[in-house]
């Protein structure tokens, strides 16, 4: 069977699958169990920077964009326009199925269909993802290689998996109150959970197997002594330590991240920074650049996809290689995802990074954050309300307690009634802030800051009287 036939038949199969197999029998299409050898040959694995793609996804993902219905296509088309993807060049993926592409390639290059298709895959479909991977490697200190996922949840999940595969141990250590997404490991001892006797983990969602409590250890963020003691006791079982370098609303106390880096390096335990929030936000190189501590692996998300579903695991090549090299039992890591490295999201991410590289971006974000935190502090003082202003970079928050806040348990001393009133009242004055931390962005103007200051003042008056 010719290469073109295989690709077209696969396109037809997936189209049929989407229709619920209604026409499968008529077409006589059967699900290809594996791409044919010839397909594999023309889509030879290329050592793209950061192992952006694995070969086996290439055929399948081409077809995800290839088999569309008019409504889907219109939506995708709109997104493509917004993402400034080159229209004429993306059209084959949207309109023509792969068969059109092959016909064009046939016409233009005579017998060299295979080379044309390979080049097309790289240029049109994965070019965006490859360029984004290169930009990430340039930006983030620990990023020697990149694996794309569609969400931050997947990024922390796979960062933990690759760390465990590299280290060959099962347990992980996370911090009390930290949030790493909604997978089973991430939802142990999260914010809102009753504290346990450390390092015992508490399941933070229904449906998490009880047995996972034995695989997750919990340490107190910002308490280096206690954290070090737990790591020293369990180091032989630990496959990874994962930390939000800026945990929810808690800045790291001086020396905490450095100490964590030292003790994990000492025992050879992979250190993962969850930078889903902080990457490209605290600095272009994320919290690791901002705080000057370089982890082995990091999960990045949110900004890197420019508002589209894209996230990534990044890290040192020595560890990331566990994604592609089977372990000593001959078992490799499974990390496939239909939409990984999605070209539309990658284009949106690339466009976003271009904006963020403009001179003055981070200075502006930090200045605005600093201004809002100072205003909030002054408002507390003026209204004689006991509270702690938290935050860093463009993030801010307030907890109504007289007690200084460094750890997750400190945050539990906050007056939740006052917090509810504050957030309700600023909303009544036109300022929407999540009840967790507030995020400032580049579109916020000085006028917005002035408006927010007024809302803080009015809301604090209500808090003072509560």
Nearer to ligand PLP, 121 or 408 (CB): 408
Number of residues written out for the chain: 466
User: Can you name the residues that pair with 398 across neighbouring β-strands?
Assistant: 389
d(CA 407, CA 399): 13
Nearer to ligand PLP, 140 or 276 (CB): 276
Choose which of 153, 190, 251, 352 interacts with ligand PLP (CB under 6 A). 153
The four Cα atoms 307, 312, 316, 321 give a dihedral, to 10 degrees, of -160
The yes or no reply on residue 311 touching ligand PLP (CB under 6 A) is yes
d(CA 8, CA 59): 11
Nearer to ligand PLP, 101 or 312 (CB): 312
The yes or no reply on residue 274 touching ligand PLP (CB under 6 A) is yes
Nearer to ligand PLP, 152 or 220 (CB): 152
CB 301 to ligand PLP: min, Å:
5
Choose which of 179, 282, 284, 439 interacts with ligand PLP (CB under 6 A). 179
452: tokens are 């927010």
The yes or no reply on residue 151 touching ligand PLP (CB under 6 A) is yes
CB 60 to ligand PLP: min, Å:
23
Choose which of 12, 114, 244, 296 interacts with ligand PLP (CB under 6 A). 244
Nearer to ligand PLP, 127 or 181 (CB): 181
CB 204 to ligand PLP: min, Å:
13
Nearer to ligand PLP, 42 or 282 (CB): 282
CB 159 to ligand PLP: min, Å:
10
238: tokens are 């630990």
- How far, in Å, are 49, 148, 302, 441 from residue 162 at the CA level? 18, 13, 21, 33
CB 190 to ligand PLP: min, Å:
10
The yes or no reply on residue 270 touching ligand PLP (CB under 6 A) is no
Site size with ligand PLP, rule: CB under 6 A: 13
The yes or no reply on residue 181 touching ligand PLP (CB under 6 A) is yes
Nearer to ligand PLP, 276 or 293 (CB): 276
The yes or no reply on residue 152 touching ligand PLP (CB under 6 A) is yes
Nearer to ligand PLP, 167 or 180 (CB): 180
The yes or no reply on residue 245 touching ligand PLP (CB under 6 A) is no
CB 278 to ligand PLP: min, Å:
8
Whether the bond between 230 and the residue before it is cis, its omega within 30 degrees of 0, is no
Contact stretch for ligand PLP (CB under 6 A) within 13-21, 177-185, 371-379, 430-438: 177-185
The residue number whose beta carbon is nearest to ligand PLP equals 152
CB 305 to ligand PLP: min, Å:
9
Q: Is the separation of the CB atoms in 231 and 241 below 8 Å?
A: yes
446-464 helix and 416-428 helix, angle to the nearest 10 degrees: 130
The yes or no reply on residue 392 touching ligand PLP (CB under 6 A) is no
CB atoms within 10 A of CB 84: 11
Nearer to ligand PLP, 50 or 152 (CB): 152
CB 369 to ligand PLP: min, Å:
17
Contact stretch for ligand PLP (CB under 6 A) within 13-21, 150-158, 393-401, 450-458: 150-158
Choose which of 51, 57, 116, 156 interacts with ligand PLP (CB under 6 A). 156
The yes or no reply on residue 277 touching ligand PLP (CB under 6 A) is yes
CB 461 to ligand PLP: min, Å:
32
Q: Tokens 């490697």 sit at which residue? A: 137
Q: Is the separation of the CB atoms in 58 and 6 below 8 Å?
A: no
Choose which of 271, 276, 333, 346 interacts with ligand PLP (CB under 6 A). 276
The yes or no reply on residue 301 touching ligand PLP (CB under 6 A) is yes
Nearer to ligand PLP, 152 or 394 (CB): 152
Contact stretch for ligand PLP (CB under 6 A) within 3-11, 41-49, 53-61, 178-186: 178-186
d(CA 376, CA 14): 55
Q: Which residues of the chain form contacts with ligand PLP (CB under 6 A)? A: 151-153, 156, 179-181, 244, 274, 276-277, 301, 311
């Amino acid at each position: 069977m010719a290469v073109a036939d295989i690709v077209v038949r696969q396109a037809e199969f997936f189209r049929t699958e989407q229709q619920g197999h209604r026409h499968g029998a008529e077409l006589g299409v059967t699900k290809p169990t594996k791409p044919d050898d010839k397909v594999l040959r023309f889509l030879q694995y290329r050592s793209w920077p950061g192992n952006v793609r694995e070969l086996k996804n290439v055929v399948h993902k081409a077809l995800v964009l290839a088999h569309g219905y008019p409504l889907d296509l219109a939506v995708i088309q709109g997104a493509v326009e917004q993402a400034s993807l080159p229209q004429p060049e993306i059209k084959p993926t949207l309109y023509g199925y792969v068969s059109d592409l092959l016909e064009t390639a046939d016409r233009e290059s005579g017998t060299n269909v295979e080379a044309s298709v390979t080049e097309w895959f790289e240029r049109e479909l994965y070019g965006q993802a490859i360029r984004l991977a290169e930009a990430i490697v340039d930006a983030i200190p620990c990023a020697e290689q990149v694996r794309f996922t569609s969400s931050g949840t997947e990024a922390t999940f796979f960062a933990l998996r690759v760390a465990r595969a590299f280290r060959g141990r099962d347990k992980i250590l996370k911090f009390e109150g930290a949030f790493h997404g909604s997978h089973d490991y991430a939802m142990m001892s999260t914010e809102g959970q009753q504290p346990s006797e450390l390092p015992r983990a508490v399941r933070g969602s229904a449906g998490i197997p009880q047995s996972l409590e034995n695989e997750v250890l919990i340490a107190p963020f910002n308490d280096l002594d206690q954290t070090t003691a737990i790591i020293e006791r369990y180091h032989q079982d630990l496959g990874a330590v994962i930390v939000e370098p800026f945990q929810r609303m808690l800045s790291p106390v001086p020396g905490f991240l450095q100490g964590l880096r030292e003790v994990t390096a000492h025992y050879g335990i992979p250190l993962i920074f969850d930078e889903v929030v902080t990457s490209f936000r605290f600095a272009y190189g994320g919290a690791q650049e901002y705080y000057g501590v370089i982890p082995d692996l990091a999960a990045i998300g949110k900004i890197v996809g420019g508002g589209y579903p894209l996230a990534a695991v990044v890290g040192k090549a020595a560890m990331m290689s566990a994604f592609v090299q089977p372990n000593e039992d001959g078992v490799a890591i499974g990390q496939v995802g239909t939409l990984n490295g999605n070209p539309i999201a990658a284009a949106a991410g690339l466009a976003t990074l271009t904006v963020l590289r403009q001179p003055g971006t981070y200075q502006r974000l930090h200045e605005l954050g600093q201004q809002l935190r100072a205003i909030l502090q002054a408002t507390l003082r003026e209204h004689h309300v006991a509270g702690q202003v938290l935050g860093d970079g463009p993030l801010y928050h307030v907890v109504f307690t007289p007690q200084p806040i460094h750890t997750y348990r400190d945050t539990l001393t906050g007056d939740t009634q006052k917090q509810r009133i504050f957030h309700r009242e600023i909303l009544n004055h036109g300022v929407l802030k999540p009840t967790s931390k507030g995020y400032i962005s580049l579109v916020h103007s000085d006028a917005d800051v002035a408006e927010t200051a007024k809302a803080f003042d009015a809301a604090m008056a209500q808090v003072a009287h509560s």
